[in-house]
Amino acid sequence: MRARQGTGSCRTPSVSEDRPKGSDLELTAGGELSVDEVLDAAVDAAAVCGLLVLAEARTTATSDPSTAAELCLTAVSHLALAVALASADLD
């Protein structure tokens, strides 16, 4: 889930932008990374995105409270994704 461009976007490259499709599966299948490690990295990335958006909301709050509120709502989706990924049961 991404924020709208220009308001708290925390964009990560898609698989097709930075490496061949399926390479994540190859890393887990080849034993270089476990599924848990990939999931942990995804949790970290989503949480950091949410925190970065909240930091931007904090700096925006004094000059434009409405935009700050929108940014807070945007951060919710990132943090919810982090919680969903962290609570995923792969067993």
pTM over 0.85: no
Q: Count of domains in the chain?
A: 1
Of the two residues 24 and 78, the one the predictor is more confident about is 78
pLDDT in tens, 64-77: 999 999 999 999 99
Alpha helices in 4-88 (DSSP H): 15-18, 23-29, 35-60, 65-86
Residue 33 lies in a domain: yes
Residue 16 lies in a domain: no
Residue 9 lies in a domain: no
Q: Report the alpha-carbon distance of residue 70 to residue 42 in Å, rounded.
A: 24
pLDDT in tens, 20-63: 555 556 666 777 778 888 899 999 999 999 999 999 999 999 99
Nearest by Cα to 78 from 61, 55, 53: 53
Residue 32 lies in a domain: yes
Residue 39 lies in a domain: yes
Range of the domain at 41: 21-86
Residue 64 lies in a domain: yes
Residue 6 lies in a domain: no
Average pLDDT, the chain: 80
Q: Which two tokens stand for residue 7?
A: 């308001």
